[in-house]
Structure 1
Amino acid sequence: MLLFISLVLFFVKINSENVEYSKTSIQPIHVRIQHIDVDTHSDIVIDIQTPHFSWELADEYDDYGQRIRNIEQIGYHIAVSAVIDNEIIWDSGYVRSSISTHILYEGKQLKSDTRYKVNIKYETNKHESEWYSVDFRTGLFSLDDWSGEWIGSQSMNMNQLRTVINLKSNPIRSATAFISGIGYYQLYIEGELIDQSRRLDVGWTTYQQRTLYTSYDLTNVLNTSGLKGIGVMLGQGWYNKQQWAIGQGPHVELSLNYGPPRVILQINIIYTDGTNESIVTNTNWLGREGEHRFDSIYMGTTVDFRAVQLCWSCANFSDFRLWMNASILPSPVNFTAGGQFSLQIMDPIRIGPDALHIATSGQLGNIDGVEGASLTDGGILKPISQEYVNGQLFDLGQNFAGWCRIASLNAAKSTIIQLRYGELRYSRSVNEMNYHGLFYENLCSIAVMDTVILNGTENEIFEPPFTYHGFRYMLINGYDHINRSDVECYNAHSQTRLIGNFTSSNQVINQIQHNILWSQLSNSMSIPTDCAQRNERRGWMGDAGLSVDASLFNFDYINFYINFLTMIEDNQTPDGAISDTVPFTVGSRPADPNWGTAYITIAWYLYEHTGDINIIKNYYQGIQLWIDCLIQHYEQTGLARFYHTYGDWNPVNRTGNQSLISSYPFLRDVYRFVNMSELLNRTDNIEKYGQLYQRLADEFHRVFYNESIRSYVDGSQPMNILALDLPDVVPTPLRTTIVQSLADNLIKTGYFTGGIISVNALFPLLSNEGHHDLALQLAQKTSYPSYGYMFNNNVQNATTNWEGWDTLPQGGASSPNHHMFNSIGAWFYRYLAGIHLNALQTIIIHPKMSYDYQLLTEINAEVVTTKGSVKVHWKRISQNQIDLSVRIPNNINAIVSFDRLVEQGKCMKLICNNEIIWIREKLNLLKNTLGISHLTEHQSTGTMSIRIESGDYTFTAYWQ
């Protein structure tokens, strides 16, 4: 219960009627259309006829340059018009509302391939903003809007295709390309790659169920009349059967209809005189096998520079000896089975500075003492060392996913140069010689080798197309005259913004955070993959669900995960079953419950981080089908024999009842589904699944509780952790006993013994149950097994998180670049920084404090949300004093809570911005201070909580 310290709070809101502020010019900032940030996307394309709009409120300042607190929106006005004729197709008029996110368009139906402009303004309790304008355009809403054909060849590796168009002399009003090339494509016009940083496009999908297309605004490219050459280069990608045959699982039959690469392209041109034309792919296009003779995601690329034809996509190209007419190939999409051909809504995979935009304003780059590369290096890594070990061996200093570009290659024609990649090096005795070569054993039957055959011209440059590798080290054979300055390697991943910043006073925690960032990016390749180095790179659901919360704190991957949810839905069978991997390559269907839970987990955390209820609405039915599928299996077995496949994957000690481990996500999913039903006011499901959860909770305790040892199953750490993590499962009289049993086990053992499922729940559970000091001690361990051991051992200091607690170069297939252990990153933000976003309703700032204050003395964190930047900086000045600074975005309020600094202690005084606002000995009254109200004290925990409005605050709390 909460005890209200003050019976009456004389809080006075100072508004514009009694305080004069200087005139200011403001406008909406960081506008988003369908979650796309217009600041980092110059060309916004949507595939929906009812988009939603969001914006942040600009900061407002008083005459002294201080940020004004309690800025609230009181109204907005949105107008959408067609660019071509300025017709207003939706005018919301002035809407009196505080809502500034996810406002649905309600105008005339949007048309295919049409350009629009949205104008937004808002009014706050202080000022009215200026209008903000931004353009967006639509994709092709119907198959009838497509007139191009899929082209390629069944008889040759036709990976370069071209045509020539003759543009009219009339000026072009707009030129828009729609293209899909699978496996991958690159679009050229007059010899120039249209988007220099875009790679491995389009994104991997279950092609027969959904194939993606992309779009380009070519208005400025095709701005002169006359002849223009258009070319498309194709890669095999995931549409090649070989990708599925290497390390194949039981579901390789899904790719049986996959085959040679193919492309469909349509360029719609509108001239200023109102006429229009379309350039489309057909059998008039010519194709050949280009210089890249072989490309494979797993095996690498072979490029023969002797076969290069300069400017093959130019209009004046004339050497057609090796070219032949393209053939019509079937669409990859099975439309009769409900397949979809849809716009790629998530950002593409990119390299270079365009791949990662920095949204945070705090500490950037590496902290002193943290090993690895900085995320602010523009996405390009240079070798930190070079030596000769059976070739030229380069250390990039960071494990990552991508490839290398080698310049200044000067050797005779037909010289063969090979590039091999590895994550690890190892040392062993070979013929009594010390060998320090690359470790290849964890590549699992794939070559991971790029080969180039030189043409003999000077200063040749090689960059492999249509493949990527997971590596830290690169070995070059066949050419010894390589300078480090001629090597640069690209960190490739799905484009995003860095929206999270987290640093602490503890170097172990800082290194873990560094490793989380890099392992997440390395495995964000249009879908969340598992690892980048071996014959995997699959969309394992367990990995995706466990890391999504941490990922969304750090990166703007909203559409990335929405796309993945859509793919899960595409793969769902009529009985509700979903698969362990998406696309379904290996594993089972129905998925192991701890893998299938990613469906509801991803949807839930997307809602928590954005407040977008449409995400819950869009996937609600599919989630219900999955839960009903689990219920059908449960009704056959009960919880005692509930099905499972993987259990608590990669534990230190494999122990306990696997049915408890699989029952855990089943109960959690049902509980979250009830929460979703409450959000949507689905009273029928609230009652139905709420009653089910109570029955399951009772059964869970009855089946798995071991009275003889007063713990669950065998009393092992994972068994008690998972039981405690479920609401209303452990009876209240037993809870303290079970928690203490867990804590005693952890202290006695000295380390955590579980795997990826139980570690996800471990740290929040300890922090919530009064054992935050123990959680910090475990997080900061550097001996085996621990996160810290990954970068504190005698073999390899990791710069990404490992796949297992013991991943080392010792003959196994395990990867040192994996994200399924990244779940601890969410604990960093939620508990160490104390940031709980709560769907951007009322933000909770509640950093957990240790009684041993030297365990952690400082945290600096920031999360850039769709409403603005949330910042937390706290510092333990002493055992009894903490300074806490927070920034709360405009148009939202927060509750800031102060944990006890000493056991059984009491807060004695609160100071805000150097002014005492509360002191215990002065009748417990809260001083009237702008933006602050409602001070409460929790009776049992002693936690002090205070409500604040938007603004910047610096608090000091004293305890004794």
Structure 2
Amino acid sequence: MGMKLRQIILISFFIYSEFCFSSTAIVSAADFSLNNLEVEHMVQPLGLDIKEPQFSWMMQGDKAARGISQSAYQIVVKDKHGTIVWNTGKIANADSIGIKYGGLPLVPESRYNWTVKVWNQKNEVQEKSSWFETGLNLARSGSGNWDNATWIGGNDQDLPLHSQSLSVFRVKYVVQISSGSQKASFILGANDSRLMDKNKNLYNLKNATDKSYIKLEFDISRVNAGGEACINIYRQGYSKTDTLTPLTSIVIPHGIVSAENQNAKHNIEVSSNFGIFNFWVDGTQIELPRVNFWTTGYNVNPVGPGGDYISFPMVADIGFSVNKGEQANFSNLQILNYRAPQNALFTEPETTGDYKGIFSHKPVNGFTVQDGVYRLNGSANGVFITADPSHGSMPLLRSTFAVKNKEIASARLYATARGIYEFYINGKRVGNDYFSPGLTQYNITQLYQTYDVTNFLQGGKENAMGAQLAEGWWSGAITFQGENWNYFGDRQSLMAKLVITYRDGTKDVVTTNPKNWKFYGQSPVVLGSFFQGEVYDARKEKDLKAWTTSSYSDAKWQQASVVPVDAHTAFIGSWAHCMTGTVTEHNYDNFTLVGQMGPSVTNILTLGAQGVNEVRPGVFIYDMGQNMAGVPRIVIKNGKAGTKIVLRYAEMIYPDHEKSGENKGMIMLENIRGALTQDTYILKGGDEIIEPHFTYHGYRYIEITGIEKALPLAAVKGTVLSSISKITADYGSSNDDVNRLWQNIVWSSRANFLSIPTDCPQRNERMGWSGDLSVFSRTASYVADTDQFLRRHLQALRDLQDKNGRFGDIAPIGNGFGGFLWGSVGMTVPWELYQQYGDKSVLTDHYAAMKQYISYLDTKVNSKGLLDEATILGLGDWLGPEYSKNEPVFLWTVYHVYDLWIMANTATVLGHTDDAAIYWQKYNERKKFFNETFVDRTVHKTIQTDGLLMDTQTSYAVPLALGVFSEENIPYAAKYLAEACIRKNTDDNKIEHKPYALMTGFIGTAWIGKALSDNGYADIAYKMLENEDYPSWLYPVKQGATTIWERLDSYTKDRGFGGNNSMNSFNHYSFGAVGAWLCNYSLGIQRDPAAPGFQHFILQPQPDFKGGLTNAHGYYDSSYGRIESAWKIDDDSWSYNAAIPANTTATLYLPMDKKTSVFENGKLLQKGNGVTFIKYENGRAVYQLESGTYRFEIKK
């Protein structure tokens, strides 16, 4: 059948269906309403790039009314002309989520109106309408229709440099030592502002100008005597132990510098990767030893090598020196990006006239510049000269365009950036999101945003629009590895398309192009970096008043340039995974540009400062009272122009402890590591607001310097940023510390669900570590509606999946380490999403990738049947007190079995019966192998591969929770788990801990509560929950935690930071995986695995009958509505209240004696009125509940 004939037949059917139903359906005064009409989990989405979107809605009625349900529905979708493109007809079905579009092909850039009509159990009808708009790329292939819009930005000369913030870089120069001279030095890292202010460094140093620097001395003094030339490294003013003697001498082989060429020109290249130096002389790299796992070289940073430490040096000031009597020339000086394509950030052109470069500001005897050559003559006093090579700012782009003098029906802006952007039209900010387009694996998948800008335009006039760009995730610092600096590219660019539709049906299209757009490289945003912070010079605003209006003169601006993605602007090539050695090609051959998927980053809350302390003269530390991710909003009154205000951020302050030394009371930045985490604001004068827009920080404390006296608390706010705009669950109890634990889980979710699911929001990581997400994903799915957010992340996992099928330990970006437990995220997360939201499409989209991963695991099973990671970096129960006792391969095997179980179930759900049979067989085989290999056949305790006893909490909890123990071994494992919890345990440091200590790490913690509760030991789970001694969940709460910590002892009042100052995040959600247990077991709100999505669910409350909790209450906002659950224990009875949302049912398991009397709403429970008794089993009465509210009282 031809496409046109098929469409005619469908249209005829839709019209006939609407006629039939419209003539008979009567919308009555029903006892329910319709709300939350969503398309792809979004209300009235713009720019939807999907051919078959899914529809959902929610029935709502009187909470007290019982049995409200949907008996049928009908969806009608119409295009902008009112033509029906889809009419389901009346469908006798109770589903109200995941209804897939099945009409005529949707058209890009089009609005569709849709109406849902719902019949309830009484055949009463309600209907409600909404709309959605399609985007530019429904096929999700290539970039879509951008009407020839181009990526525009600056050129090579516009690459900015802020030298005080650049800690990963290269320097190139040519040095020529004059005959008769022996040494000449290049200077870098001079006058680092942190080392000139005793309040800004760990060592309390206060250096004068030119008293802190790194000096690289080219030394040929031993060459004539048969020795080797060398580069002597001097460090001055960086620590209290620095001396006038070299830190080391880098020997240059004879074959490079010899007696014959020692006075010739020599090309020197130096790279600095967070202070680890490497050297090239005349094109040959000097071989140096390994400094850490990642890199070779020589470390000059006094704090420590690499990105795990506060980073020194920055580029800072650069220069030259020679000793007295020495002469030398330098030339071809360049500062370059570290990562390919290694374009120059600073260079000075050769000039024949007067020198006006960076060294011209302070004449120094013996230093001249001629024809691009820096000439140094030390004569009697030597020469030492430095200067700041900084220049430029983050890019601005603007254009003007005419709007016809007729009525505008609509206007849509489609925009994206390589980098991050904020867009303006006629002087008004477009949208309220931060950091768009968000982080994805840009070389494969990038997002664009769609905005309704109808009300921004001025008909019959000249209009203007513009954008501010910044680094974002495209350029600058990203991850803990300096090798990833400028991971995607070295410059920012914008692509946009504005479509103006007039009431008469005509359209105008305005796009980015180099002809009509201009570029400006001197914006007030000097630097916008997630890790290094924002530098803002408000004095530059004077030249940019009304710069996004048509009245502004852009005569000083230059024409924008086309910015392609090629080997000149971006990294194009291959990289080897640090753990597996697998080579991955990084290119843009399969690039796809699609509309926004899931929530962006927005301002969700504003906090006020709770206190301020002037810890040193002029150093003011504000306590926000809550660890958070975001930026400050600081009001300055009557500021003086040119005043520099510096903001630094920390999660903790140094305690009153002997190990704090001179830093007592100061903010603790060691755990921020290689991230500078500093905002600098230069006042323009008068009243101003400091509110960075192109960075964010994880912090509780803000240090403010540069002000004369403390600002009022009301002047210091915290703008909380997150991709979680609504919390969908709550938990409360009789224990305030447990309640604080729940709030800590919520706050860590907010802080770390920021564009991607990060591990932490503060240090130089902020990346999507797979292991963290895998264990937390179930909790996350209760805390927030994570469906679209995590589906976006699954796309990144697929984008990075290697040719062997391995999922990345980190996504986006890749690399990292973790191994099988981390890679399982590609299996666990789609399954969690399917179970929570009932949407099969997440499994459909991910199925091929899941199969590839299972095939990868098959290849990693060695001849002994064991998974072999072939590296020391395959992690186990990370950060558990008994980490060394839990053999990693044991846990790898458990997760292998679980992955196969997920795979088999997924194949079954999707109807791939042949695949399912294969995976069920593999599952049974691996499960059998696990029980034969890791369980002692006599006593049934867990053992290692060498037969030694394991017998730990983790070794029982994880296989129990994931169904890996055999039926024979389950009762033994449950018993041994209980014993492992109630006994004293000794950790890896030989410290003995009291009973009920939490000895699990990231992996075990996620499952220990479930394993206990499923096997009749809920009382032990509660005792562990309520334990206040280390290690426990409440120990950090007792230490003042307001978020979940990376370590259960990240800080203690007696030991401070315990020596873990570096890897010590105070906002790390992994240990917060107990949140799922609080919802699923304490409250008892559980998914029904047989009916994903909560249309039918389980209520299985487990009150703390033997412990200290006397009540618990909370809710979960499912896709069908709010589920409420609460219990309370009294002297002679206990009560249970529940609310079942409309169009759902629940199976309730009430713990009780078989002869116990049960009252419902004050009356002895009888059959009917929404309650049906099913059976009594295992100490619980089982009931089926219809929608409505219930109040049960169970007499003891």
The alignment's TM-score, normalised by the length of structure 1, stands at 0.88
1:698-743: CA deviation from partner (whole Å, max 9, x where unpaired): 11122112357641122222222233334252442x4333322222
Amino acid of the structure 2 residue aligned with 1:913: N
CA displacement 1:420-445 (0-9 Å, x = unmatched): 00000113459987831111110112
Q: How does 1:328-343 map to 2 (within 5 A)?
A: 328-331=562-565, 337-343=589-595
Match of 2:235 in 1: none
Q: Aligned-pair distance for 1:747?
A: 1.3
Tell me the distance in 1 between the aligned counterparts of 2:40 and 2:745. Answer: 27
The answer to whether the Cα contact below 8 Å between 1:392 and 1:475 also exists between their aligned partners in 2 is yes
The correspondence for 1:303, drawn from 536, 539, 542, is 536
- Alpha carbons 1:188, 1:232 under 8 Å: kept: yes
Query: Residues 117-156 of structure 1: matches in 2 within 5 Å?
Result: 117-141=113-137, 143-146=143-146, 147-154=148-155, 155-156=157-158
Aligned partner of 2:1161 in structure 1 is 913
Secondary structure in 2 matching 1:517: helix
Structure-2 residue corresponding to 1:921? none
**Post-superposition offset of 1:841:** 4.1
3-state SS in 2 of match to 1:712? coil
Distance 1:954 1:419 in 2: 53
Q: Distance in 2 between matches of 1:136 and 1:731?
A: 51
2:925 partner SS = helix
Match of 1:239 in 2: 474
> What is aligned with 2:413?
177
Deviations 1:776-818 (A, max 9, x none): 011111111111110213xxx1000000111123433211111
Residue pair 1:420, 1:474 contacting (<8 A) in 2 also: yes
Q: Which residue of 1 aligns with 2:768?
A: 539
Residue-by-residue CA offset, 1:890-917 (whole Å, 9 max, x unaligned): 22211111124xxxx4342122222212
Using the aligned pairs only, state the percent identity: 27
Counterpart residue identity of residue 468, structure 2: M
Paired letter, 2:1049 = D
Deviation at 1:164, TM superposition (A): 0.7
Match of 2:1112 in 1: 859
Distance 1:726 1:326, change over 3 A: same
Deviation of the 1:829 alpha carbon: 0.5
Among 849, 861, 868, the residue aligned to 2:1103 = 849
Q: In the alignment, which residue of structure 2 is the partner of 1:73?
A: 70
Answering whether residue 272 of structure 2 is matched by residue 46 of structure 1, we say: no
CA distance in 2, matches of 1:737, 1:105: 50
Cα deviation code 1:633-678 (max 9, x no counterpart) = 1155522756661111001122132210211211111111112222
Is the contact between residue 423 and residue 816 of structure 1 (CA under 8 Å) also seen in structure 2? Answer: yes
Contact kept, 8 Å, 1:209 with 1:339, in 2: the verdict is yes
**Structure 2 residue aligned with 1:324, among 558, 563, 569?**
558
Paired residue type of 1:329: V
Q: Distance in 2 between matches of 1:728 and 1:712?
A: 12
Among 192, 195, 201, the residue aligned to 2:436: 201
1:540 positional shift:
0.3
CA distance in 2, matches of 1:500, 1:117: 31
| Aligned pairs, number | 873
Per-residue CA deviation, residues 822-878 of structure 1 (Å, 9 max, x unaligned), is 2100000000000112212421101113441x4222111111111111111111123
- For 1:60-81, what per-residue CA distance to the aligned partner results, in whole angstroms no more than 9, with x for missing partners? 5xxxxx8331122121121111
The CA RMSD over aligned residues, in Å, is 2.2
Distance 1:686 1:71 in 2: 37
Q: Which moved more, 1:817-826 or 1:157-166?
A: 157-166
Match of 1:788 in 2: 1034
Q: Is the 8 A contact 2:646 2:679 kept in 1?
A: yes
**Alignment check: 8 A CA contact 1:935 1:945 kept:** yes
> Do the aligned partners of 2:443 and 2:588 also contact (CA within 8 Å) in 1?
no
Indicate whether 1:954 and 2:1191 are aligned. yes
The answer for the alignment partner of 1:936 in structure 2 is: 1175
Q: Distance in 2 between matches of 1:216 and 1:276?
A: 17
Give, in whole Å, the separation in 2 of the partners of 1:430 and 1:778: 31
* Alignment counterpart, residue 957 of structure 2, candidates 710, 721, 732: 721
1:221-370 alignment to 2 at 5 Å?
Answer: 221-222=456-457, 224-243=459-478, 247-248=481-482, 252=484, 258-283=489-514, 284-289=516-521, 290-308=523-541, 309-321=544-556, 323-331=557-565, 337-351=589-603, 355=604
The counterpart of 2:758, out of the listed 529, 535, 550, is 529
Residue equivalent to 1:446: 675
Corresponding residue SS for 2:36: strand
Match for residue 361 of structure 1?
A: none
For residue 1008 of structure 2, the aligned residue among 758, 762, 769 is 762
User: Is it true that 1:96 corresponds to 2:350 in the alignment?
Assistant: no
Give the letter for the 1:844 counterpart. Answer: I
- For the structure 1 residues 914 and 757, does the alpha-carbon distance in structure 2 shift closer, same or farther, using more than 3 Å as the test? same
Tell me if structure 2 keeps the 8 A contact 1:907–1:944: no
The alpha carbon displacement at 1:380 in A equals 0.5
State the secondary structure of the residue aligned to 1:193: strand
CA distance 1:949–1:259, shift in 2 (3 Å):
same
The Cα of 1:43 is off from its aligned counterpart by 4.9
Residues 405 and 463 of structure 1 are in contact (CA less than 8 Å); yes or no, is this contact kept in structure 2? yes
Cα displacement string for residues 323-345 of structure 1 (whole angstroms, at most 9, x for unaligned residues): 11110011589886322111121
1:119–1:134 Cα contact (<8 Å) kept: yes
CA distance in 2, matches of 1:182, 1:337: 17
Maintained 8 Å contact 2:477/2:530: no
Unaligned ranges ≥5, structure 1? 1-21, 61-65, 356-378, 918-926
Correspondent of 1:383 among 596, 603, 609: 609
Aligned 8 A contact 1:248 1:586 in 2: no
**In the alignment, residue 114 of structure 2 is paired with which amino acid?**
V
Contact 1:44/1:135, CA 8 A, preserved across alignment: no
For 1:220, what is the secondary structure of its paired residue?
helix
Corresponding position: 1:651 with 2:901: no
Q: What is the SS of the residue equivalent to 2:757? A: coil
The one of 871, 874, 894 aligned to 2:1124: 871
SS in 1 for 2:719: strand
C-alpha change, 1:408 and 1:641, in structure 2 (3 Å) is closer
Mapped to 1, the partners of 2:1102 and 2:31 lie a distance apart of 40
Q: Does 1:611 align with 2:838?
A: yes
1:365 maps to none
1:742 lines up with 2:977 in the alignment? yes
C-alpha change, 1:909 and 1:813, in structure 2 (3 Å) is: same
**8 A contact 2:119–2:126 mirrored in 1:** no
Judging changes above 3 Å, is the alpha-carbon distance between structure 1 residues 149 and 128 closer, same or farther for their aligned structure 2 residues? same
Change beyond 3 A, Cα 1:864–1:474: same
Distance (Å, rounded) in 2 between the aligned partners of 1:580 and 1:441:
25
Q: TM-score, normalised by structure 2?
A: 0.71
Q: Compared with structure 1, are the counterparts of its residues 431 and 292 closer, same or farther at alpha carbon in structure 2 (3 Å cutoff)? A: closer
User: 1:924 maps to what in 2?
Assistant: none
8 A contact 2:862–2:868 mirrored in 1: no
Bigger relative CO (Cα 8 Å, ≥ 6 apart):
1
Query: Within 2, Cα distance between the matches of 1:213 and 1:804?
Result: 37
Give me the whole-angstrom Cα distance separating, in 1, the residues matched to 2:659 and 2:1185: 67
Check 1:573–1:912 CA distance in 2 against 1; reply closer, same or farther (3 A cut): same
Alignment partners' CA distance in 2, 1:194 and 1:850: 51
Which residue of 422, 426, 431 maps to 1:186? 422
